[in-house]
Structure 1
Amino acid sequence: MRIRVIVFLVVLLLLIPPLFLLAGRSLAGPAEKEKPMSVGEVLGGTPAEGFSRALVPRSFRFPEDHGAHHGFRNEWWYFTGNLQAIDGRHFGYQLTFFRVALTPQEVKRSSHWGTNEIFMAHFALTDVQGKQFRFAQRYSRAALGLSGAGGKPLSIWLEDWTARETASHPWSMQLTASEADMVVNLDLQSLTPEILNGEGGLSRKSATPGNASYYYSMPRMRTSGTIRSGKDTFKVSGLSWLDREWSTSALEANQVGWDWFALQLDDGRDLMFYRLRRKDGSVDPFSAGTLVNADGSSRALNSNEVRLEVVSWWTSPSSGSRYPSVWRLQVPGSQLDLRITPRLEDQELMANFRYWEGAVAVEGVGGAPKGSGYLEMTGY
């Protein structure tokens, strides 16, 4: 699913001072007096003519499709994971690279600063036992080596935040990101094949033609490396999840937000589901997901197959937004009954566009498996 990058396109164009785009910039959140934009404000409207659209299913080719897809307006590489240190200390992390095209094709310019693409990145670390959630964001133009995505082996970077391909079979990446009070240096190796979401990788967001994306996931990537939280460094291991999506799409006027779940279960299954919400509080019928079996096979889930219930709520002391806190998610046809709890209540990213995204624990109900995962909530 992951339609969020359209948010950042508008943010980049409307909120970021032009000087910041001359070089990378790292911020803890939006300017103090800056009013965050709502989902409805940033996802409405019609994209400019000339961009490619996700209209029909396509043939995917790997490892080529791990790289950039120029011609589409939005694209992202979305890494999240739950990791443990040798002493059992638990961490969640998010490292995301967004590519946003300002024009359908690159225009030749005499200046070396000239480019038609902008990159944005989010880096977050959840230190569960330390009860700390840290977040930083950066953005830069794709010029003079400041940011970009491409090459063989593939590299995605924004300054010294990087995701670099280290092997193609099985596909493997090295992630590095550093801020004053948090550092990750992680090696990821895929344990499952690429999982195509939606209709063979075409993920429709509404009935409007082109309101869709090409979307695949790598739900299990064995992960090891080091994390620094504050002054302490830990050797860690666990599982990561990669979401990949590219599109030129927008929400419908009556769609106000979404809840996205990426869950890795102890019986070897993985579950992705996103619930699109309408202004009247109802669930949009284009909500959908994918259930991946332990053998790597998968099947699409429609909105009628998944039951979601909010068990409790949490109000952010920073933004005043009220988010669901504990969830119950059921897939009766697959004997799944799951209670989903945040590992820390406050995992709200105070970015130019504010949203909640963080590590969650999964408890099985009635014999269902337990597990870990990530949850994203927007539009609250």
Structure 2
Amino acid sequence: MNAERRHVLKALAACAALAPLRAAAQGFAGLGAEAGGFAPVLPSTRLVFPADHGPHPDFRIEWWYVTAVLTGTEGAEAGVQWTLFRISLAPPGEGGSGWQARQLWMAHAGLTTAESHHHHQLYARAGVGQAGVTADPLHAFIDDWQLVETAAPASGAPASALGPLRMAARGGDFAYDLALTTERGVALQGIDGYSVKSERGQASHYYSQPFFEVSGWIAPGGQRRAVTGRAWMDREWSSQPLDADQSGWDWFSLHLPGDEKLMVYRLRHDTGPAYVTGNWIAPDGSSTRLDPGAVEVDALGEAEVAGRRLPVRWRIAIPARGLEIETAPLNPQSWMATDFAYWEGPVRATGTHPARGYLEMTGY
């Protein structure tokens, strides 16, 4: 696609989708807005693979989201993010095809080192072949950004397992190209993939693949470096994932010792206490929900970021698991200055369970 056409598409997408969401904003990016006409998230739904690696157009929003914590051959740490969002502009059955399709694709990529943070954003309209997702084999793309299976899963692997993936993206001052591999199946978040977001019952369908091993290269500022590490993929879809008075979230994904994994999120209400929950994932992929009240998440220290004060250092405690850790960012200035801006970057945890992982903070 030439630059002029890309510019026009981005402008149309921003005007048609993002401005109305802002005008009626409820929660971060309008995700607490009423979702009449879209499919509901039901606790009785059971996820089915490989189909659920693909899109769910009856729901209003979903994402394919990967973060990776990396180490270069010289020992320097880094992190990358790759996210593709599908956003329905109208309930199922409304809209047309081609340029009139009512599905919008938006993508974010980030690359963070201790010295720099890089990010880029893309848009596409569904129906014209510029972006999309297929489930089997998994192929998520927008322009030349790719998250694609390069081979079939290993023989005998679980039905939810993905074959080797290639993940690539580039922006004006950065690029990366990584290989992700695992033979393990996914971990279901919440209870059997039904993830509750508030006391009033807002929820999503949510699963993760937190067991990827990674190799490849990154190029912050155009300087290519070989890296290895671990990656975590999240898949989530919903029609109203937030309550109307939830302004945003603080979300952690952590690679713990012994190949255990921890996902924790803190959804902030405009009034009243935050809703805090998560899942503890065993090395075999079995996932146990952490009920509200079982997890303590407290801000410890702030930094000036993009003209605002943000809590970049945190304490997480799960007394029943004997866990008490403190997280610190690799780079406090990991601000994603996209149309819906947020903080996203790699963190390191110290304490009872030393760990590396990612923190995302929205709505600040």
Contact 1:106-1:116 at 8 Å conserved across structures:
no
Given that 1:79 and 1:240 are in contact with CA atoms closer than 8 Å, whether structure 2 keeps it comes out as yes
Deviations 1:141-166 (A, max 9, x none): 01321111116422111111111122
Q: Distance in 1 between matches of 2:180 and 2:53?
A: 14
Cα deviation digits, residues 234-256 of structure 1 (max 9, x gap) = 11111000010011014223322
Of 177, 180, 201, 2:169 maps to 177
Counterpart contact for 1:191–1:222, Cα < 8 Å: no
Aligned to 2:227: 236
Is 1:168 the counterpart of 2:148? The answer is: no
2:280 is aligned with 1:294: no
**Correspondence 1:145 to 2:136:** no
Give the 3-state SS of the residue equivalent to 1:267 in structure 2: helix
How far, CA to CA, are the matches of 1:87 and 1:38 in structure 2?
45
Q: Does 1:379 align with 2:352?
A: no
Preserved contact between residue 28 and residue 362 of structure 2 (Cα < 8 Å): no
Conserved 8 A contact 2:51-2:135: no
Alignment partner, residue 8 of structure 2: 19
Which letter does structure 2 place at the counterpart of 1:124? Answer: G
Residue 295 of structure 2 is matched in structure 1 by 306
**Alignment partner, residue 346 of structure 1:** 333
Q: Quick check: 1:38–1:379 contact (8 Å CA) kept in 2? A: no
Change (3 A) 1:38 1:360: farther
Q: Do 1:106 and 1:115's aligned partners in 2 also have CA atoms closer than 8 Å?
A: no
Q: What is residue 135 of structure 1 aligned with on the other side? A: 119
The change in CA–CA distance for 1:151 and 1:266 in structure 2 (over 3 A counts) is closer
| 2:39 counterpart of 1:52 | yes
Distance 1:281 1:379, change over 3 A: farther
**1:158-180 alpha-carbon deviations (Å, 9 max, x no partner):** 11111112233451321111223
Give how far 1:40 is off: 5.5
Q: Is the 8 A contact 1:45 1:250 kept in 2?
A: no
- CA spacing shift, 1:44–1:72, aligned 2, 3 Å: closer
Query: What SS is found at the alignment partner of 1:125?
Result: strand
Distance 1:289 1:152 in 2: 29
Measured against aligned partners, the alpha-carbon deviations of 1:300-320 in whole angstroms (never above 9, x if no partner) come to 10121111222111121x2x2
Runs of 4+ in structure 1 off by over 4 angstroms are 21-25, 106-109
Secondary structure of residue in 1 paired with 2:34 = coil
Please say if 1:246 is aligned against 2:233: no
Amino acid at match of 1:94: Q
Q: 1:38 to 1:227 in 2, by over 3 A?
A: farther
Other structure's SS at 2:259 match: coil
Aligned to 1:91: 78
Tell me the CA shift for residue 22 of structure 1.
7.8
Contact 2:173 2:221 in 1 (8 A): yes
Partner SS state of residue 206, structure 2: strand
Q: 2:195 aligns with which of 195, 203, 220?
A: 203
Q: Which amino acid aligns with 1:279?
A: D
Query: 78, 101, 104: which is aligned to 1:115?
Result: 101
In the alignment, the residues of structure 2 paired with residue 191 and residue 330 of structure 1 have an alpha-carbon distance, to the nearest angstrom, of: 31
Distance, in Å, in 1 between the alignment partners of 2:113 and 2:211 is: 21
- Relative to the length of structure 1, the TM-score reads 0.84
Aligned residue in 1 for 2:3: none
Distance across 2 between alignment mates of 1:108 and 1:346: 40
Partner of 1:333: 320
d(CA) in 1 for partners of 2:168, 2:349: 27
| % same residue | 35
- Matched residues, number: 345
Cα distance per residue 1:278-307 (max 9 Å; x no partner): 2235223xx310001233322110121111
2: distance between equivalents of 1:323 and 1:351? Answer: 17
Q: Distance in 2 between matches of 1:281 and 1:335?
A: 27
Change (3 A) 1:81 1:151: closer
Report the TM-score when normalising by structure 2: 0.87
| Alpha-carbon spacing, 1:312–1:191, altered in 2? closer, same or farther (3 Å) | farther
With over 3 angstroms needed to count, the CA separation of the structure-2 counterparts of 1:107 and 1:257, relative to structure 1, is closer
| CA deviation vs aligned residue, 1:42-88 (integer Å, no higher than 9, x gap) | 23431132x11102232222222111112111110000010111111
Distance 1:249 1:272 in 2: 21
User: What amino acid is the match of 1:324?
Assistant: P
Matches within 5 A, 1:264-283: 264-280=255-271, 282-283=273-274
Instruction: List alignment gaps of at least 5 residues for structure 2.
Output: 1-5, 155-160
Task: Tell me the amino acid that sits aligned with residue 43 of structure 1.
Answer: L
1:39 maps to 2:39 = no
1:257–1:378 CA contact under 8 A, matched in 2: yes
**Aligned residue number for residue 345 of structure 2:** 358
